[in-house]
Structure 1
Amino acid sequence: MKISTMNIEKIRADFPILSRKVNGHPLVYFDNAATSQTPTAVIDAIVDYYQNYNANIHRGVHTLSQEATEAYEEARETIRAHFNAQKKEEIIFTAGTTHGINLIANGFASEIKKGDEVIVSALEHHSNIVPWQMLCEKTGAKLRVIPMTQEGELDMKAFHDLLSENTKLVFVNHVSNALGTINPIEEIIHAAHQKNAVVLIDGAQAAPHIQADVQQLDVDFYVVSAHKMCGPTGVGMLYGKEKWLNKLPPYQGGGEMINEVTFEKTTYAGLPHKFEAGTPNICGGIAFGKAIDYLHEIGFENIAAYEHELLTYATEKLMEIEGMKIFGTSAKKTAVISFNIEGLHPYDIGTIVDKLGIAVRTGHHCAQPIMDYYKIPGTVRASFSFYNTKEEIDSFVKAVKRAKIMLS
């Protein structure tokens, strides 16, 4: 049940790590775009699994195995409902977003040929660039790139111009991890489908803030990681339309993904097991489902509204600092601020604020083409979540000002 008013202190109490100190200062955690923190409800689910019904799934008739299987498949159903997939079989458990992208890139190696074109955007994380480069090198297809603007948005006119009858695949992130830009994926999906191109959306950065409806989007593939959504690391989800998942070959061979094995021939299991070779991260999958339940208790509308408030407040406060330059100024963005201060290296700023207990990310954020576009070595990135506060932002701004004085 959604709560109508965000009780931030109550929410913060759900996250044990937020009560610790770093370098003698209360922890201010502003690295949520890299990984979110984990609430007690999810931690308890992990402990409960290992303490009470740790067993392999889908393979045992004994009670523990049946209990583990039921909990794991319940989590799959929770994920299906959250993303509104038509069928539970369209939800594939993965090791994370990168795994899901590589699974699809591997599958399309037999579908793509020389002369075909694959489109990615200039705003992508490396994990949504490198696998497609590898695919193009393997098949002879050409990689085309949607350019970006100074505001950190995609040049949509250029995208429409790039589309052609040769376009077979389009890969774009829902939200930029480096800048927070929310991309117009509805327009991208619709335009790509007009050319009969297949679309994969990297939802890793969007999932903690936006509840994507894969049927409404009509997207072919959508990938996320649990650790961005208050869940554990090492587990994620690939949604794929049933027709494509049935058409693509398995990514890995082994147990669980088979129907029958002989030395003469092996036949594969149906969905979703066809893509889930080996013993999965059972506990991680169960905890992923619990994390989604937790986020729904707070409510995604509440999360979006509160985080936008934090974004607006932090932007105003940071812009009061002389020499401040924020990269990514789209009107549609999540609670991410990437910035530099004239004459200062982002790494130096990040090191000093860490001494004051504040965790931010510095560097190119696995998005080097963005940094090359702006002709900078990297940025300081502060990314907020619903458990952060304006008081923490005040502490952060004060720390940045102190760093500026120390480094000038």
Structure 2
Amino acid sequence: MLMASATAKTTFNIEKIRKDFPILDRKVNGYPLVYFDNAATSQTPKQVIDAIVDYYSNYNANIHRGVHALSQEATDAYEQARIKIQRHFNIPNAYQTLFTAGTTHGINMVASGYASILKEGDEVLVSALEHHSNIVPWQMLCEKTGAKLKVIPMLETGTLDMEAFDALLSDRLKVVFVNHVSNALGTINPIAEIITKAHQKGAVVLVDGAQAAPHIKADVQELDVDFYVVSAHKICGPTGVGMLYGKEDLLKLLPPYQGGGEMIDQVTFEKTTYAGLPHKFEAGTPNICGGIAFGVALDYMNEIGFDAIAKYEHQLLEYATSKLQEIEGLRIYGESKDKTAVVSFNINGIHPYDMGTILDKLGIAVRTGHHCAQPIMDFYKISGTVRASFSFYNTFEEIDTFVAAVIRAKEMLS
């Protein structure tokens, strides 16, 4: 049986891991919670929760400014978290690791900077698989600068048309924006190839790593990527904090995203000079606790091991896919050979919202709709999908519960 063989291959203790997540013990509508909305937000282990409580209980203070003990302790913890993020993504220097409010914030920081660099006639390239946060800022950028937005089309399999990408490469291309992993389909994009070819045309590349970070330990130096952005809440951390990596020369080239305290060198009413990296881009009091907890979340996931996580999640994906494919009338969208643990599907004649509502009544949390990726839904000529996204703390038994619930919902709605 597939479940038995897959379970035997796991290299970590799933029962022990699940005990780290208090929320997994709760019930929803009288049923044990089955949380399959991990692509939206992962759950938080008690190690991260404890770090948050510890900060506010014992050393809550502003950073970089105070000479008193609490401020120094908070500063040390915050900057140690920056170093943890630097090492996790193999960033050359800690000052190239910028704290943000999340992936969307990081993308907008870069877009804002390029508004003073791009000019009319320049070309920027996005993929058809993008989240809205990696589309809308670039549309706004093109409206401001007169640059032209072009799109790498997608194929029926939910993968990018790389032949079309090759044809779109031109000497006017300045920036390429692509996600590492599609949030709607789970497709892992060939970003190494995209980066190499874009660089051959002199273009820079920003990669949205929000959906990759929970599953793939990206090495920004090996990829030679110019900008890479992630959110902590996708990788067992808190909401409201994330990371922007940028190559040093590019970060120095970009103007500050916003003005305020912390990001200045000298201020007079005649002229202001700006601080060096990373403070140039970190105006105001940051999410101190969030940054510290971000580092703790990375510690937690690295202790489990990303290779073990990827292997186990792939087993969950294969098992769920095989079980769902047995349901008559069910179609899975996104059939790439390289994908993360996401299954996006519909059943003939059933609206995804109706399916999701019944699943919720049975204690199962999935995401329904267009997943902030309307161009993908338009490509398939559908209004949305049911998306089940798995994490390393999910189980094969939960997938059995989920599949049985999908069958039950289908019978109720048909």
Q: Structure 1-normalised TM-score?
A: 0.99
1:6, CA displacement in angstroms? 1.2
The CA distance in 2 between the partners of 1:218 and 1:304, in whole Å, is 23
Question: Does 2:102 match 1:103?
Answer: no
CA positional deviation for 1:5: 2.3
Q: Confirm or deny that 1:199 pairs with 2:205.
A: yes
The aligned counterpart of 1:294 is: 300
Partner of 1:317: 323
Instruction: Specify which of 128, 140, 154 is matched with residue 146 of structure 2.
Output: 140
* CA–CA separation in structure 2 for the residues paired with 1:135 and 1:271: 24
- Counterparts of 1:177 and 1:129, CA distance in 2: 13
- Give unmatched runs, 5+ long, in structure 1: none
Which one of the candidate residues 320, 331, 342 is aligned to 2:337? Answer: 331
Q: 1: CA distance between counterparts of 2:336 and 2:205?
A: 23
Please say if 1:285 is aligned against 2:299. no
Aligned pair partner of 1:184 in 187, 190, 211: 190
User: How do 1:9-28 residues align onto structure 2 when only pairs under 5 Å count?
Assistant: 9-28=15-34
Structural mapping, 1:4-403, within 5 Å: 5-403=11-409
Q: Spell out, residue by residue over 1:195-244, the C-alpha distance to the aligned partner (whole angstroms, 9 max, x if none).
A: 00010000000000000000000000000000000000000000000100
Task: State the Cα deviation string for residues 269-312 of structure 1 (Å, max 9, x = none).
Answer: 00000000000000000000000000001000000000000000
Distance 2:318 2:91 in 1: 33
User: What is the RMSD computed on CA atoms of the aligned residues?
Assistant: 0.5
> Matched residues in 1 for 2:244 and 2:194: separation?
19
Render the CA deviation track for 1:174-207: whole Å, top value 9, x for unaligned.
Answer: 0000000000000000000000001000000000
Partner of 2:410: 404
- Which amino acid in structure 2 is aligned with residue 121 of structure 1? S
Q: Distance in 2 between matches of 1:214 and 1:46?
A: 28
Q: Hey, what's the Cα distance between the residues in 2 that align with 1:204 and 1:392?
A: 25
Question: What residue number does 2:5 align with?
Answer: none
Partners of 2:372 and 2:47 in 1: CA distance: 31
Question: Counterpart amino acid of 1:60?
Answer: G
Percent of aligned positions that are identical: 79
Alignment-mate amino acid for residue 370 of structure 1 = I
C-alpha distance in structure 2 between counterparts of 1:121 and 1:234, whole Å: 26
Q: Secondary structure at the match of 1:354?
A: helix
* Alpha-carbon distance in structure 2 between the residues aligned to 1:180 and 1:147: 17
Deviation at residue 20 of structure 1 after TM alignment:
0.2
Q: What is the DSSP-based 3-state SS (H/G/I as helix, E as strand, rest coil) of the residue aligned with 2:115? A: helix
Question: Hey, what's the Cα distance between the residues in 2 that align with 1:147 and 1:84?
Answer: 31
Q: Which amino acid aligns with 1:277?
A: A
Q: Deviations over 1:133-192 (max 9, x none)?
A: 000000000000000000000000100110100000000000000000000000000000
1:343-367 Cα offsets, whole Å, 9 max, x none, are: 1000000000100000000000000
Distance in 2 (alpha carbons) for counterparts of 1:54 and 1:338: 42
Paired with 2:252 and 2:67, the residues of 1 have a C-alpha distance of 28
In structure 2, C-alpha distance between the alignment counterparts of 1:313 and 1:246, rounded to whole Å: 47
Q: Secondary structure at the match of 2:368?
A: strand
Classify the secondary structure of the residue corresponding to 1:110. coil
Q: Which one-letter code corresponds to 2:152 in the other structure?
A: I
Take 2:169 and 2:258, find their aligned partners in 1: how far apart are those partners?
32
Residue type at the aligned position of 1:395? T
TM-aligned CA deviation for residue 47 of structure 1:
0.2
Number of equivalences: 405
Kindly provide the amino acid, as one letter, of the partner of residue 43 in structure 1.
Answer: I
Residue deviations 1:247-284, cap 9 Å, x none?
A: 10000000000001100000000000000000000000
Structure 2 length-normalised TM: 0.98
SS in 1 for 2:170: coil
